[in-house]
Amino acid sequence: MKFITKTIVTLGLTTSLMTASAAALSNDKIRVGMPEEMFLNLVEFVAQENGFYEDQNLEVELVHIADSSIPVRALFAGELDVSQTGMPETLSAIDKGAELVTIGGVHTGLHYTFYVNPDANIETLEDLQGKKLGISGPGTLPHVVMVAMMKEAGMTPEQIEDVTWVSLQGSSSRRNGIVTGIIDATVAGFNPRAVEDPSIGTAFNVPETLPNYVMTPWDTSTKYLEENREVLKRFITAELLATRWVLDNRDEALEVAKTRFDYNEDELIAFYDFYAERIWNPNGMVTPEQAEYMQQLNLEAGMQDNMLPIEEVLDTSIVEEVLAEIGEY
């Protein structure tokens, strides 16, 4: 009887030690809100499939959300840890009292194409006056981008107000809105198949029109930043290393893309070249000047009431730590 009792105690102790050891070795989990699945996210898919997250002892859940206003609310509610779906919404939320902050990003370039209905007679941005324009919703990325482009073209507030905004969530829905005639124009994610579609026209150069625009950086809550700084540092390290691998290994990156997207080789190459040239940011930095520019756009669009101090909306200290360790690209 004593033997049996001793064995049970020993087994219990062994089990406890094994459980503790497994817990010590388990990966930290992080939930990342992102746009609908698109080529933009090749960096994240590579980070998952090639072990960049795992090397940093991370288990990353990618949560794809078409409406870019939802992740901000999810961040505030603690349902997401990081969001990569839009700086304007985050700034607007901070202005209203939300304790959120931008910490950098690898998808900072403006990855939109301007799509138009070929029969809508849109040759200049001024021609948008009186037209039906597709957006995800008021204050979302497509809305802010289109207003910013019209302002850059010198359109007056009265001209900009003389449009009809039509809510269509997701890039594919807005492009379909062009085909069906629901809308006359929209901005949506670059898509080589859509560019070649005769029923959809393209106009203007969105990235060059708004070169300081920050598209989808890493946003998080100040609470999560304070409590999980080391986890965020490992996440940023993995993302930067994966981005650099994608840029340095074009053919291998395209092989990963083939497993994720139903496009032919020429289309995938067009995707890659677009993002590699204009969008992916291998150093992960968002500058104070960019943050100020984004706030100014929000003020002009009525999404923000006050110009906030940069330190209230931007904290790149973790990115700076990572760059000090891995170097700049």
Residue 17 is predicted with a pLDDT of: 34
The per-residue pLDDT for 69 is 66
Q: What percent of the chain has pLDDT over 90?
A: 74
**Which tokens hold the place of 125?**
């941005």
C-alpha dihedral (31, 32, 37, 38), degrees to nearest 10: -150
Residue ranges of domains in the chain, CATH in brackets:
28-109+214-326 (3.40.190.10), 112-209 (3.40.190.10)
Look at the alpha carbons of 164, 165, 166, 170 in this order and tell me if their dihedral is positive or negative.
positive
What is the reported pLDDT for 66? 66
Minimum mean pLDDT range among 100-104, 222-226, 294-298, 299-303: 299-303
Please write down the long-range contacts of 248-252, taking CB distance under 8 Å and 24 or more positions apart.
Answer: 250/276
Q: What distances in angstroms separate CA 170 from CA 176, 197, 279, 324, one per listed residue?
A: 10, 18, 19, 37
Side by side, which strands form the sheet with 82-83? 58-64, 28-34, 82-83, 218-221, 100-104
Q: In what order do the strands lie in the sheet with 185-189?
A: 164-167, 132-135, 185-189, 112-116, 201-202
**Type of residue found at 10:** T
Q: What local confidence, expressed as pLDDT, does residue 67 receive?
A: 66
The residue length of the chain stands at 329
pLDDT tens by residue, 113-143: 999 999 999 999 999 999 999 998 887 778 8
* 241 Cβ contact list (under 8 Å, min separation 6): 47, 52, 326
Quick count: other Cβ atoms within 10 Å of Cβ 57?
13
Position 229 pLDDT exceeds 50: yes
By DSSP bridging, strand 28-34 and strand 82-83 are: parallel
The first and second tokens of residue 302, run together, are 């009525």
- Single-letter amino acid, residue 324: A
d(C-alpha 73, C-alpha 70), whole Å: 5
Helix locations, the chain, DSSP H: 2-25, 42-49, 52-55, 70-77, 87-95, 141-152, 157-161, 171-180, 192-195, 206-209, 222-227, 229-248, 250-258, 265-278, 288-301, 310-313, 317-326
DSSP code per residue over 59-93: EEEEEE-SSTTHHHHHHHHTS-SEE-S-HHHHHHH
pLDDT tens-digit readout, 71-91: 788 887 789 999 998 898 899
> Which range, of 72-76, 205-209, 229-233, averages the lowest pLDDT?
72-76
Please give the Cα distance from 266 to 262 (Å, whole number): 12
Q: What is the pLDDT of residues 254-306, one digit of tens each?
A: 999 999 999 999 999 999 999 998 899 999 999 999 999 999 988 987 889 99
β-bridge partners, 186: 115, 134
Pairing of β 132-135 and β 185-189: parallel
Please tell me the distance from the alpha carbon of residue 35 to that of residue 236, in angstroms, as a whole number.
18
